[in-house]
Amino acid sequence: MEQPLILERYRPLETLGEGGYGTVVLAYDTRMQRRVAIKRLPFPADRSGRPVAPAGLAEARTAALLNHPSIVTVHEWDTDADEAFIIMEHVDGATVGDLMQASDGPLTLDEAAAVVEAVADALEFAHDNGVLHLDIKPDNVLVTRDGRVKVADFGIAALSSAAGHGHGAGGTPGYMPLEQIRGHELDESTDVWAFGVLVYEMLTDANPYYAETWEGAVFKAEIVEPPAPREFAPRLPAELDDVLLTALAPVPTERYPGVRSLANHLLDHLGDSHAGRRSLAALVEDVCGEESFDRDDTWEIGIWDRLARWGYPVAAGASGVLAAWLAWAGLAPFGLGSVAVGAVAALVALAGVLAPGLGLGIGTALLSIGIVREGMVLAGVSLFVIAAVVWWAFGRRGAGWLASFAGPLLGMARVSPSAPLLTGFVLPPLPAAGISAFAALLTMTASAASGGSAPFADVEWTMLLNPWGVIAASAAFGELLSTPAPLAVLLGWSAAGVTMSLCCRSASRLMALVGIALGSVALLGGYLLADVVASQGNASVTWSSEGLLLRVAASSILMVLVVAAGPPIRAEEE
Protein backbone atom coordinates (compact mmCIF):
# COMPACT_ATOMS: atom_id res chain seq x y z
CA MET A 1 0.00 0.00 0.00
CA GLU A 2 1.27 3.47 -0.93
CA GLN A 3 2.54 5.66 1.89
CA PRO A 4 3.55 9.32 2.27
CA LEU A 5 7.09 10.30 1.40
CA ILE A 6 9.75 10.15 4.09
CA LEU A 7 11.57 13.50 4.38
CA GLU A 8 9.59 14.71 1.32
CA ARG A 9 11.78 12.52 -0.88
CA TYR A 10 11.70 8.79 -0.20
CA ARG A 11 8.72 6.64 -1.23
CA PRO A 12 8.38 3.64 1.17
CA LEU A 13 8.03 0.34 -0.66
CA GLU A 14 8.13 -2.32 2.04
CA THR A 15 9.35 -3.00 5.56
CA LEU A 16 12.58 -4.99 5.55
CA GLY A 17 12.82 -5.58 9.28
CA GLU A 18 12.00 -4.38 12.75
CA GLY A 19 14.03 -4.45 15.93
CA GLY A 20 14.60 -2.81 19.28
CA TYR A 21 16.22 0.19 17.65
CA GLY A 22 13.54 0.91 15.06
CA THR A 23 12.42 -0.14 11.61
CA VAL A 24 14.27 -0.66 8.32
CA VAL A 25 12.29 0.31 5.22
CA LEU A 26 13.03 -0.27 1.54
CA ALA A 27 12.28 3.02 -0.22
CA TYR A 28 12.66 4.75 -3.57
CA ASP A 29 14.71 7.96 -3.72
CA THR A 30 12.65 10.22 -5.98
CA ARG A 31 15.56 12.61 -6.54
CA MET A 32 18.38 10.18 -7.28
CA GLN A 33 16.07 7.55 -8.86
CA ARG A 34 17.39 4.61 -6.85
CA ARG A 35 16.32 2.24 -4.09
CA VAL A 36 17.63 2.86 -0.60
CA ALA A 37 17.28 1.28 2.82
CA ILE A 38 16.11 3.65 5.56
CA LYS A 39 16.62 2.93 9.23
CA ARG A 40 14.04 4.81 11.30
CA LEU A 41 15.00 5.49 14.92
CA PRO A 42 12.25 7.04 17.06
CA PHE A 43 13.29 9.60 19.66
CA PRO A 44 12.55 9.02 23.33
CA ALA A 45 9.71 10.96 24.95
CA ASP A 46 9.95 13.38 27.86
CA ARG A 47 7.61 13.29 30.87
CA SER A 48 4.89 15.05 28.91
CA GLY A 49 5.12 12.53 26.08
CA ARG A 50 6.83 14.85 23.59
CA PRO A 51 9.73 13.40 21.57
CA VAL A 52 13.18 14.73 22.42
CA ALA A 53 16.26 14.44 20.20
CA PRO A 54 18.79 12.36 22.15
CA ALA A 55 22.26 13.46 23.11
CA GLY A 56 24.97 12.00 20.91
CA LEU A 57 23.05 12.60 17.67
CA ALA A 58 25.94 14.46 16.03
CA GLU A 59 28.48 11.81 17.07
CA ALA A 60 26.29 9.01 15.74
CA ARG A 61 25.83 10.89 12.46
CA THR A 62 29.59 11.25 12.06
CA ALA A 63 30.13 7.56 12.80
CA ALA A 64 27.53 6.52 10.24
CA LEU A 65 29.11 8.53 7.41
CA LEU A 66 32.24 6.36 7.10
CA ASN A 67 33.17 5.70 3.47
CA HIS A 68 34.77 2.31 2.81
CA PRO A 69 34.10 -0.53 0.33
CA SER A 70 33.36 -2.94 3.18
CA ILE A 71 30.98 -0.56 4.96
CA VAL A 72 27.39 -0.04 3.88
CA THR A 73 27.28 3.46 2.41
CA VAL A 74 25.17 6.03 4.21
CA HIS A 75 23.81 8.52 1.68
CA GLU A 76 22.12 10.85 4.12
CA TRP A 77 21.27 11.32 7.78
CA ASP A 78 18.37 13.52 8.78
CA THR A 79 15.72 14.01 11.45
CA ASP A 80 12.18 15.26 11.77
CA ALA A 81 10.14 16.06 14.86
CA ASP A 82 10.28 12.59 16.39
CA GLU A 83 12.67 10.35 14.45
CA ALA A 84 16.17 10.04 13.07
CA PHE A 85 16.49 8.68 9.54
CA ILE A 86 19.59 6.96 8.23
CA ILE A 87 19.40 6.58 4.47
CA MET A 88 21.72 3.80 3.32
CA GLU A 89 22.51 2.00 0.10
CA HIS A 90 20.17 -0.89 -0.49
CA VAL A 91 22.34 -4.02 -0.43
CA ASP A 92 20.81 -6.62 -2.70
CA GLY A 93 21.74 -9.69 -0.73
CA ALA A 94 21.39 -11.33 2.68
CA THR A 95 22.89 -11.13 6.15
CA VAL A 96 25.35 -13.67 7.48
CA GLY A 97 22.62 -14.69 9.92
CA ASP A 98 20.26 -15.37 6.99
CA LEU A 99 22.90 -17.49 5.24
CA MET A 100 23.61 -19.56 8.34
CA GLN A 101 19.91 -20.11 8.91
CA ALA A 102 19.35 -21.11 5.29
CA SER A 103 22.27 -23.55 5.28
CA ASP A 104 21.24 -24.85 8.72
CA GLY A 105 24.79 -24.88 9.98
CA PRO A 106 28.11 -23.02 10.20
CA LEU A 107 29.95 -21.43 7.31
CA THR A 108 32.86 -23.19 5.65
CA LEU A 109 36.44 -22.15 6.37
CA ASP A 110 36.59 -20.47 2.95
CA GLU A 111 33.38 -18.52 3.57
CA ALA A 112 34.50 -17.52 7.07
CA ALA A 113 37.79 -16.26 5.64
CA ALA A 114 35.95 -13.98 3.20
CA VAL A 115 33.83 -12.54 6.00
CA VAL A 116 36.78 -12.10 8.37
CA GLU A 117 38.82 -10.21 5.75
CA ALA A 118 36.04 -7.73 4.98
CA VAL A 119 34.86 -7.18 8.56
CA ALA A 120 38.43 -6.65 9.75
CA ASP A 121 39.02 -4.08 6.97
CA ALA A 122 35.82 -2.24 7.90
CA LEU A 123 36.51 -2.20 11.64
CA GLU A 124 40.15 -1.21 11.20
CA PHE A 125 39.12 1.71 8.99
CA ALA A 126 36.51 2.79 11.52
CA HIS A 127 38.93 2.54 14.43
CA ASP A 128 41.52 4.56 12.53
CA ASN A 129 38.84 7.26 12.23
CA GLY A 130 37.96 7.15 15.92
CA VAL A 131 34.70 5.20 15.49
CA LEU A 132 33.62 2.09 17.38
CA HIS A 133 30.88 -0.14 16.00
CA LEU A 134 29.64 -1.64 19.29
CA ASP A 135 27.10 -3.98 17.70
CA ILE A 136 28.97 -6.52 15.56
CA LYS A 137 26.72 -9.52 14.96
CA PRO A 138 25.62 -11.74 12.05
CA ASP A 139 22.60 -9.56 11.26
CA ASN A 140 24.83 -6.51 10.79
CA VAL A 141 27.12 -8.22 8.27
CA LEU A 142 25.64 -8.24 4.76
CA VAL A 143 26.69 -10.27 1.73
CA THR A 144 25.86 -9.09 -1.79
CA ARG A 145 24.91 -11.28 -4.71
CA ASP A 146 28.49 -11.23 -5.99
CA GLY A 147 29.89 -12.32 -2.63
CA ARG A 148 31.11 -8.96 -1.33
CA VAL A 149 30.81 -8.48 2.43
CA LYS A 150 29.71 -5.19 4.01
CA VAL A 151 29.28 -4.11 7.63
CA ALA A 152 26.18 -2.06 8.48
CA ASP A 153 24.98 0.12 11.34
CA PHE A 154 28.05 2.06 12.38
CA GLY A 155 27.02 4.62 14.99
CA ILE A 156 23.60 3.07 15.55
CA ALA A 157 24.40 1.40 18.86
CA ALA A 158 25.64 4.62 20.44
CA LEU A 159 22.62 6.57 19.23
CA SER A 160 20.19 3.89 20.31
CA SER A 161 21.68 3.83 23.79
CA ALA A 162 21.38 7.61 24.07
CA ALA A 163 17.81 7.38 22.80
CA GLY A 164 16.85 4.86 25.45
CA HIS A 165 16.56 1.87 23.09
CA GLY A 166 19.65 -0.02 24.22
CA HIS A 167 21.59 -1.01 27.32
CA GLY A 168 24.99 0.23 28.30
CA ALA A 169 26.43 1.65 25.09
CA GLY A 170 23.89 0.07 22.78
CA GLY A 171 24.54 -3.37 21.39
CA THR A 172 22.75 -6.72 21.48
CA PRO A 173 22.71 -9.34 24.27
CA GLY A 174 25.19 -12.09 23.45
CA TYR A 175 27.44 -9.81 21.39
CA MET A 176 28.56 -7.41 24.13
CA PRO A 177 31.50 -7.87 26.51
CA LEU A 178 31.02 -7.22 30.21
CA GLU A 179 32.46 -3.70 30.13
CA GLN A 180 29.91 -2.69 27.50
CA ILE A 181 26.97 -4.19 29.39
CA ARG A 182 28.01 -2.36 32.54
CA GLY A 183 28.41 0.95 30.73
CA HIS A 184 32.15 1.27 31.40
CA GLU A 185 34.58 3.15 29.17
CA LEU A 186 34.94 1.39 25.82
CA ASP A 187 37.73 1.11 23.29
CA GLU A 188 38.74 -0.97 20.27
CA SER A 189 38.96 -4.12 22.39
CA THR A 190 35.14 -4.00 22.70
CA ASP A 191 34.79 -4.57 18.96
CA VAL A 192 37.57 -7.17 19.10
CA TRP A 193 35.47 -9.22 21.55
CA ALA A 194 32.30 -8.91 19.44
CA PHE A 195 34.31 -9.79 16.30
CA GLY A 196 35.49 -12.91 18.10
CA VAL A 197 31.91 -13.89 18.97
CA LEU A 198 30.88 -13.35 15.34
CA VAL A 199 33.63 -15.66 14.05
CA TYR A 200 32.92 -18.22 16.79
CA GLU A 201 29.29 -18.33 15.70
CA MET A 202 30.11 -18.50 11.99
CA LEU A 203 32.38 -21.52 12.55
CA THR A 204 30.27 -23.40 15.10
CA ASP A 205 26.69 -22.20 14.59
CA ALA A 206 26.65 -21.49 18.34
CA ASN A 207 27.00 -18.38 20.49
CA PRO A 208 28.20 -19.26 24.00
CA TYR A 209 27.03 -15.88 25.30
CA TYR A 210 23.54 -15.86 23.84
CA ALA A 211 20.86 -14.71 26.29
CA GLU A 212 17.34 -13.41 25.93
CA THR A 213 17.65 -10.96 28.83
CA TRP A 214 20.27 -8.48 29.98
CA GLU A 215 20.59 -10.31 33.27
CA GLY A 216 21.37 -13.52 31.41
CA ALA A 217 23.88 -11.70 29.24
CA VAL A 218 25.65 -10.32 32.35
CA PHE A 219 25.77 -13.78 33.94
CA LYS A 220 27.26 -15.44 30.87
CA ALA A 221 29.76 -12.65 30.21
CA GLU A 222 30.90 -12.60 33.84
CA ILE A 223 30.64 -16.22 35.00
CA VAL A 224 30.46 -18.59 32.06
CA GLU A 225 33.73 -19.70 30.51
CA PRO A 226 33.06 -20.36 26.81
CA PRO A 227 33.76 -23.89 25.56
CA ALA A 228 36.44 -24.35 22.95
CA PRO A 229 35.00 -23.99 19.43
CA ARG A 230 36.03 -27.55 18.54
CA GLU A 231 33.58 -28.86 21.14
CA PHE A 232 30.84 -27.72 18.72
CA ALA A 233 32.77 -28.33 15.48
CA PRO A 234 35.45 -31.02 15.93
CA ARG A 235 36.72 -30.60 12.35
CA LEU A 236 38.02 -27.09 13.03
CA PRO A 237 41.80 -26.62 13.24
CA ALA A 238 42.96 -26.92 16.86
CA GLU A 239 44.77 -23.58 16.64
CA LEU A 240 41.47 -21.72 16.26
CA ASP A 241 40.52 -22.64 19.82
CA ASP A 242 43.33 -20.57 21.31
CA VAL A 243 42.78 -17.68 18.87
CA LEU A 244 39.07 -17.31 19.58
CA LEU A 245 39.31 -17.85 23.33
CA THR A 246 41.97 -15.14 23.50
CA ALA A 247 39.68 -12.79 21.59
CA LEU A 248 36.91 -13.57 24.09
CA ALA A 249 38.95 -12.89 27.20
CA PRO A 250 36.80 -11.12 29.83
CA VAL A 251 39.56 -8.63 30.60
CA PRO A 252 40.10 -6.22 27.69
CA THR A 253 43.88 -6.08 28.07
CA GLU A 254 44.10 -9.85 27.63
CA ARG A 255 42.54 -9.76 24.16
CA TYR A 256 44.29 -9.08 20.88
CA PRO A 257 45.45 -5.47 20.60
CA GLY A 258 43.26 -4.78 17.55
CA VAL A 259 40.97 -6.29 14.94
CA ARG A 260 43.81 -6.59 12.42
CA SER A 261 45.86 -8.65 14.82
CA LEU A 262 42.89 -10.94 15.50
CA ALA A 263 42.12 -11.24 11.78
CA ASN A 264 45.72 -12.19 10.92
CA HIS A 265 45.73 -14.94 13.55
CA LEU A 266 42.37 -16.21 12.26
CA LEU A 267 43.26 -16.15 8.57
CA ASP A 268 46.34 -18.30 9.21
CA HIS A 269 43.97 -21.17 10.01
CA LEU A 270 40.98 -20.43 7.75
CA GLY A 271 40.49 -21.18 4.06
CA ASP A 272 40.72 -19.33 0.74
CA SER A 273 38.82 -16.03 0.89
CA HIS A 274 38.47 -15.85 -2.91
CA ALA A 275 36.79 -19.25 -2.99
CA GLY A 276 34.77 -18.14 0.02
CA ARG A 277 33.33 -15.14 -1.84
CA ARG A 278 32.22 -17.38 -4.70
CA SER A 279 30.61 -19.76 -2.24
CA LEU A 280 28.90 -16.89 -0.39
CA ALA A 281 27.53 -15.56 -3.67
CA ALA A 282 25.98 -18.96 -4.40
CA LEU A 283 24.43 -19.01 -0.92
CA VAL A 284 22.96 -15.55 -1.41
CA GLU A 285 21.49 -16.61 -4.74
CA ASP A 286 19.84 -19.59 -3.08
CA VAL A 287 18.43 -17.43 -0.27
CA CYS A 288 17.26 -14.46 -2.33
CA GLY A 289 16.35 -16.07 -5.64
CA GLU A 290 16.02 -13.95 -8.77
CA GLU A 291 12.98 -11.83 -7.95
CA SER A 292 15.01 -9.10 -6.30
CA PHE A 293 16.65 -8.32 -9.65
CA ASP A 294 13.35 -7.87 -11.44
CA ARG A 295 11.26 -6.28 -8.72
CA ASP A 296 8.69 -4.04 -10.40
CA ASP A 297 8.09 -0.91 -8.37
CA THR A 298 6.27 0.91 -11.18
CA TRP A 299 2.87 0.93 -9.51
CA GLU A 300 4.11 1.88 -6.04
CA ILE A 301 6.43 4.56 -7.35
CA GLY A 302 4.42 6.05 -10.20
CA ILE A 303 5.33 8.65 -12.79
CA TRP A 304 5.26 11.60 -10.37
CA ASP A 305 7.86 9.97 -8.14
CA ARG A 306 10.05 9.28 -11.15
CA LEU A 307 9.71 12.87 -12.33
CA ALA A 308 10.22 14.36 -8.87
CA ARG A 309 13.85 15.29 -9.47
CA TRP A 310 12.71 17.44 -12.40
CA GLY A 311 9.86 18.96 -10.41
CA TYR A 312 11.67 22.03 -9.10
CA PRO A 313 13.50 22.88 -12.37
CA VAL A 314 10.22 22.63 -14.29
CA ALA A 315 8.35 24.67 -11.70
CA ALA A 316 11.13 27.26 -11.65
CA GLY A 317 11.07 27.54 -15.44
CA ALA A 318 7.29 27.86 -15.52
CA SER A 319 7.45 30.46 -12.74
CA GLY A 320 9.98 32.46 -14.73
CA VAL A 321 7.80 32.45 -17.86
CA LEU A 322 4.64 33.34 -15.96
CA ALA A 323 6.39 36.05 -13.92
CA ALA A 324 7.69 37.60 -17.15
CA TRP A 325 4.17 37.64 -18.65
CA LEU A 326 2.70 39.22 -15.52
CA ALA A 327 5.38 41.91 -15.55
CA TRP A 328 4.91 42.58 -19.27
CA ALA A 329 1.13 42.80 -18.92
CA GLY A 330 1.39 45.08 -15.88
CA LEU A 331 3.87 47.49 -17.46
CA ALA A 332 2.27 47.63 -20.93
CA PRO A 333 -0.22 50.41 -20.02
CA PHE A 334 2.62 52.78 -19.02
CA GLY A 335 3.99 53.12 -22.55
CA LEU A 336 7.60 52.66 -21.47
CA GLY A 337 8.74 51.13 -24.72
CA SER A 338 9.50 47.56 -25.60
CA VAL A 339 13.14 47.71 -24.49
CA ALA A 340 12.40 48.95 -20.98
CA VAL A 341 9.42 46.63 -20.53
CA GLY A 342 11.44 43.70 -21.87
CA ALA A 343 14.33 44.45 -19.50
CA VAL A 344 12.06 44.58 -16.46
CA ALA A 345 10.22 41.45 -17.56
CA ALA A 346 13.57 39.66 -17.96
CA LEU A 347 14.63 40.64 -14.43
CA VAL A 348 11.31 39.48 -13.00
CA ALA A 349 11.64 36.24 -14.97
CA LEU A 350 15.09 35.71 -13.48
CA ALA A 351 13.65 36.26 -10.02
CA GLY A 352 10.92 33.73 -10.85
CA VAL A 353 13.50 31.12 -11.81
CA LEU A 354 15.78 31.68 -8.82
CA ALA A 355 13.02 32.26 -6.25
CA PRO A 356 9.63 31.29 -7.74
CA GLY A 357 7.57 32.72 -4.89
CA LEU A 358 9.34 36.08 -5.07
CA GLY A 359 9.24 36.36 -8.86
CA LEU A 360 5.54 35.51 -9.10
CA GLY A 361 4.77 37.88 -6.24
CA ILE A 362 6.53 40.76 -8.02
CA GLY A 363 4.77 39.90 -11.27
CA THR A 364 1.36 39.86 -9.57
CA ALA A 365 2.08 43.24 -7.94
CA LEU A 366 3.02 44.74 -11.31
CA LEU A 367 -0.17 43.37 -12.87
CA SER A 368 -2.21 45.01 -10.10
CA ILE A 369 -0.44 48.32 -10.79
CA GLY A 370 -1.21 47.98 -14.50
CA ILE A 371 -4.91 47.44 -13.74
CA VAL A 372 -4.96 50.62 -11.68
CA ARG A 373 -3.19 52.46 -14.52
CA GLU A 374 -5.97 51.36 -16.88
CA GLY A 375 -8.48 53.13 -14.66
CA MET A 376 -9.85 50.09 -12.81
CA VAL A 377 -8.68 51.35 -9.43
CA LEU A 378 -10.98 49.28 -7.25
CA ALA A 379 -10.21 46.08 -9.18
CA GLY A 380 -6.45 46.71 -9.11
CA VAL A 381 -6.30 47.60 -5.42
CA SER A 382 -8.53 44.67 -4.52
CA LEU A 383 -6.38 42.25 -6.50
CA PHE A 384 -3.22 43.63 -4.89
CA VAL A 385 -4.57 43.34 -1.34
CA ILE A 386 -6.04 39.87 -1.80
CA ALA A 387 -2.97 38.62 -3.63
CA ALA A 388 -0.65 40.07 -0.97
CA VAL A 389 -2.52 38.30 1.83
CA VAL A 390 -2.63 34.94 0.06
CA TRP A 391 0.95 35.28 -1.18
CA TRP A 392 2.29 36.11 2.29
CA ALA A 393 0.38 33.25 3.89
CA PHE A 394 0.96 30.53 1.31
CA GLY A 395 2.98 31.57 -1.72
CA ARG A 396 6.15 33.36 -0.71
CA ARG A 397 8.15 30.16 -0.22
CA GLY A 398 8.81 27.75 -3.05
CA ALA A 399 6.72 27.37 -6.18
CA GLY A 400 3.33 26.93 -4.46
CA TRP A 401 2.14 30.32 -5.72
CA LEU A 402 2.33 28.88 -9.23
CA ALA A 403 -0.81 26.86 -8.45
CA SER A 404 -2.78 30.11 -8.14
CA PHE A 405 -2.53 30.59 -11.90
CA ALA A 406 -3.53 27.04 -12.78
CA GLY A 407 -7.21 28.06 -12.93
CA PRO A 408 -6.96 30.60 -15.79
CA LEU A 409 -4.56 28.39 -17.75
CA LEU A 410 -6.76 25.32 -17.37
CA GLY A 411 -9.76 27.51 -18.19
CA MET A 412 -8.25 27.99 -21.64
CA ALA A 413 -8.48 24.20 -22.04
CA ARG A 414 -12.06 24.25 -20.69
CA VAL A 415 -11.15 22.25 -17.55
CA SER A 416 -10.69 25.02 -14.97
CA PRO A 417 -12.55 23.01 -12.23
CA SER A 418 -9.55 20.67 -12.10
CA ALA A 419 -7.41 23.49 -10.68
CA PRO A 420 -8.47 23.13 -7.01
CA LEU A 421 -8.24 19.35 -7.30
CA LEU A 422 -4.70 19.60 -8.63
CA THR A 423 -3.86 22.08 -5.89
CA GLY A 424 -5.14 19.70 -3.24
CA PHE A 425 -3.21 16.87 -4.88
CA VAL A 426 0.13 18.58 -4.21
CA LEU A 427 -0.39 20.98 -1.28
CA PRO A 428 -1.33 20.62 2.41
CA PRO A 429 -4.91 21.53 3.38
CA LEU A 430 -4.49 25.14 4.52
CA PRO A 431 -2.41 26.33 1.55
CA ALA A 432 -4.74 24.36 -0.75
CA ALA A 433 -7.73 26.26 0.65
CA GLY A 434 -6.24 29.73 0.22
CA ILE A 435 -4.61 29.16 -3.15
CA SER A 436 -7.70 27.42 -4.57
CA ALA A 437 -9.89 30.35 -3.57
CA PHE A 438 -7.47 32.82 -5.14
CA ALA A 439 -7.25 30.66 -8.27
CA ALA A 440 -11.05 30.83 -8.52
CA LEU A 441 -10.89 34.63 -8.27
CA LEU A 442 -8.26 34.83 -11.01
CA THR A 443 -10.18 32.40 -13.23
CA MET A 444 -13.46 34.29 -13.01
CA THR A 445 -11.69 37.62 -13.53
CA ALA A 446 -9.78 36.34 -16.55
CA SER A 447 -12.96 34.80 -17.96
CA ALA A 448 -14.87 38.05 -17.62
CA ALA A 449 -11.93 40.00 -19.06
CA SER A 450 -11.87 37.77 -22.12
CA GLY A 451 -15.59 38.20 -22.72
CA GLY A 452 -16.87 35.11 -20.92
CA SER A 453 -20.18 34.73 -19.18
CA ALA A 454 -21.52 33.06 -16.05
CA PRO A 455 -20.36 30.77 -14.55
CA PHE A 456 -17.07 32.33 -15.78
CA ALA A 457 -15.19 29.03 -16.00
CA ASP A 458 -13.69 29.45 -19.49
CA VAL A 459 -10.87 31.80 -20.53
CA GLU A 460 -10.04 32.75 -24.11
CA TRP A 461 -6.48 32.37 -25.43
CA THR A 462 -6.54 35.97 -26.65
CA MET A 463 -5.90 37.02 -23.03
CA LEU A 464 -2.31 35.88 -23.38
CA LEU A 465 -1.60 37.89 -26.51
CA ASN A 466 -3.52 41.12 -25.94
CA PRO A 467 -4.78 41.31 -22.35
CA TRP A 468 -5.62 45.02 -22.29
CA GLY A 469 -7.27 45.03 -25.69
CA VAL A 470 -9.49 42.14 -24.65
CA ILE A 471 -10.35 43.73 -21.30
CA ALA A 472 -11.27 47.02 -22.95
CA ALA A 473 -13.69 45.22 -25.27
CA SER A 474 -15.28 43.14 -22.51
CA ALA A 475 -18.65 43.99 -21.05
CA ALA A 476 -18.81 40.97 -18.76
CA PHE A 477 -17.39 42.60 -15.63
CA GLY A 478 -20.73 44.12 -14.79
CA GLU A 479 -22.39 40.74 -14.92
CA LEU A 480 -19.62 39.19 -12.80
CA LEU A 481 -19.97 41.85 -10.11
CA SER A 482 -23.73 42.21 -10.25
CA THR A 483 -24.34 39.73 -7.40
CA PRO A 484 -22.36 38.10 -4.54
CA ALA A 485 -22.44 34.85 -6.52
CA PRO A 486 -18.63 34.77 -7.06
CA LEU A 487 -18.17 34.35 -3.30
CA ALA A 488 -20.03 31.03 -3.50
CA VAL A 489 -17.68 29.89 -6.28
CA LEU A 490 -14.66 30.86 -4.18
CA LEU A 491 -16.12 28.84 -1.33
CA GLY A 492 -16.69 25.82 -3.58
CA TRP A 493 -13.15 25.91 -4.99
CA SER A 494 -11.66 26.30 -1.53
CA ALA A 495 -13.71 23.39 -0.20
CA ALA A 496 -12.68 21.24 -3.15
CA GLY A 497 -9.00 22.02 -2.58
CA VAL A 498 -9.20 21.22 1.13
CA THR A 499 -11.18 18.03 0.56
CA MET A 500 -8.75 16.79 -2.06
CA SER A 501 -5.78 17.67 0.12
CA LEU A 502 -7.15 15.88 3.17
CA CYS A 503 -7.86 12.77 1.14
CA CYS A 504 -4.37 12.85 -0.37
CA ARG A 505 -2.60 13.01 2.99
CA SER A 506 -2.40 9.22 3.03
CA ALA A 507 -0.57 9.41 -0.33
CA SER A 508 -2.64 6.57 -1.76
CA ARG A 509 -4.39 6.45 -5.11
CA LEU A 510 -7.60 5.11 -3.57
CA MET A 511 -8.01 8.05 -1.23
CA ALA A 512 -7.04 10.44 -4.02
CA LEU A 513 -9.91 9.05 -6.10
CA VAL A 514 -12.22 9.60 -3.13
CA GLY A 515 -10.91 13.17 -2.98
CA ILE A 516 -11.75 13.68 -6.66
CA ALA A 517 -15.33 12.53 -6.09
CA LEU A 518 -15.86 14.62 -2.96
CA GLY A 519 -14.05 17.62 -4.42
CA SER A 520 -16.20 17.51 -7.55
CA VAL A 521 -19.30 17.50 -5.36
CA ALA A 522 -17.93 20.54 -3.50
CA LEU A 523 -17.31 22.32 -6.80
CA LEU A 524 -20.81 21.66 -8.08
CA GLY A 525 -22.22 22.71 -4.72
CA GLY A 526 -20.41 26.02 -4.96
CA TYR A 527 -21.70 26.71 -8.46
CA LEU A 528 -25.26 25.69 -7.52
CA LEU A 529 -25.11 28.02 -4.52
CA ALA A 530 -23.84 30.76 -6.83
CA ASP A 531 -26.83 30.17 -9.10
CA VAL A 532 -29.21 30.51 -6.16
CA VAL A 533 -27.54 33.73 -5.01
CA ALA A 534 -27.49 35.16 -8.54
CA SER A 535 -31.10 34.29 -9.27
CA GLN A 536 -32.26 36.18 -6.19
CA GLY A 537 -30.63 39.35 -7.43
CA ASN A 538 -31.07 38.95 -11.17
CA ALA A 539 -33.12 36.07 -12.56
CA SER A 540 -31.54 36.45 -16.01
CA VAL A 541 -28.09 35.35 -14.76
CA THR A 542 -27.54 31.57 -14.69
CA TRP A 543 -24.43 30.28 -12.93
CA SER A 544 -24.97 26.55 -13.34
CA SER A 545 -25.57 24.82 -16.65
CA GLU A 546 -25.10 21.60 -18.53
CA GLY A 547 -21.87 23.00 -19.93
CA LEU A 548 -20.52 23.41 -16.41
CA LEU A 549 -21.44 19.83 -15.55
CA LEU A 550 -19.49 18.66 -18.58
CA ARG A 551 -16.48 20.72 -17.50
CA VAL A 552 -16.55 19.29 -13.99
CA ALA A 553 -16.86 15.79 -15.45
CA ALA A 554 -13.94 16.43 -17.84
CA SER A 555 -11.90 17.82 -14.94
CA SER A 556 -12.65 14.71 -12.89
CA ILE A 557 -11.54 12.46 -15.74
CA LEU A 558 -8.34 14.48 -16.07
CA MET A 559 -7.67 14.06 -12.36
CA VAL A 560 -8.33 10.31 -12.53
CA LEU A 561 -5.60 10.12 -15.19
CA VAL A 562 -3.29 12.15 -12.94
CA VAL A 563 -3.91 9.78 -10.02
CA ALA A 564 -3.48 6.71 -12.21
CA ALA A 565 -0.05 8.00 -13.22
CA GLY A 566 1.15 8.01 -9.62
CA PRO A 567 0.15 8.47 -5.99
CA PRO A 568 0.23 11.96 -4.46
CA ILE A 569 3.73 13.13 -3.60
CA ARG A 570 3.06 14.04 0.01
CA ALA A 571 5.36 14.15 3.00
CA GLU A 572 4.74 12.23 6.22
CA GLU A 573 4.91 15.47 8.21
CA GLU A 574 3.39 18.47 6.45
Report, as an integer, the average pLDDT of 25-46.
87
Mean pLDDT check: name the lowest of 171-185, 273-287, 456-470.
171-185
Q: What is the pLDDT of residue 364?
A: 94
Q: What is the pLDDT of residue 492?
A: 96
Report, as an integer, the average pLDDT of 315-319.
93
Report, as an integer, the average pLDDT of 469-486.
80
Report the amino acid identity of residue 546: E
Q: Decide which of 1.10.150.310, 1.10.390.10, 1.10.510.10, 3.40.50.1100 is the CATH code for 10-288.
A: 1.10.510.10
pLDDT at 458 over 60: yes
> Tens digits of per-residue pLDDT, 129-162?
888 888 899 999 999 999 999 998 887 755 544 4
User: What ranges make up the beta strands (E) of 210-250?
Assistant: none
Q: What is the pLDDT of residue 189?
A: 93
Asked if residues 10 and 29 have their Cβ atoms less than 8 Å apart, the reply is: yes
Q: Write out the residue limits of the CATH 1.10.510.10 domain(s) in the chain.
A: 10-288
Q: Which residue in the list 135, 305, 458, 531 is annotated as catalytic?
A: 135
DSSP three-state, residue 151: strand
Q: What is the pLDDT of residue 22?
A: 75
pLDDT at 292 over 50: no
> Tens digits of per-residue pLDDT, 184-219?
888 899 999 999 999 999 999 999 888 777 777 777
> Tens digits of per-residue pLDDT, 215-238?
777 777 777 788 999 999 999 999
135 among known catalytic residues: yes
Residue 123 Cα distances to 93, 111, 272, 353, 512, angstroms:
21, 18, 21, 47, 48
Asked if residues 319 and 353 have their Cβ atoms less than 8 Å apart, the reply is: yes
Q: What is the pLDDT of residue 162?
A: 44
- Residue burial 161-199, b: 16+ Cβ < 10 Å; e: rest: bbbebbbbbbbbbbbbbbbbbeeeebebbbbbbbbbbbb
Percent share of the chain, pLDDT over 70 = 91
Report, as an integer, the average pLDDT of 285-304.
71
Give the pLDDT band (50/70/90) at residue 95.
very high
Mean pLDDT check: name the lowest of 93-97, 370-374, 528-532, 538-542.
538-542
Q: What is the pLDDT of residue 84?
A: 83
222 or 416, greater pLDDT: 416
pLDDT at 413 over 90: yes
> Tens digits of per-residue pLDDT, 237-280?
999 999 999 999 989 999 999 999 999 999 999 999 999 999 99
Asked if residues 161 and 170 have their Cβ atoms less than 8 Å apart, the reply is: yes
Residues in contact with 375: Cβ distance below 8 Å, sequence separation at least 6, in sequence order: none
Q: What is the pLDDT of residue 19?
A: 66
| Range picked from 83-87, 346-350, 475-479 for highest mean pLDDT | 346-350
Mean pLDDT check: name the lowest of 27-31, 273-277, 300-304, 542-546.
542-546
Mean pLDDT check: name the lowest of 24-38, 161-175, 203-217, 559-573.
161-175
State how far the Cα of 344 lies from the Cα of 384, in Å rounded to an integer: 19
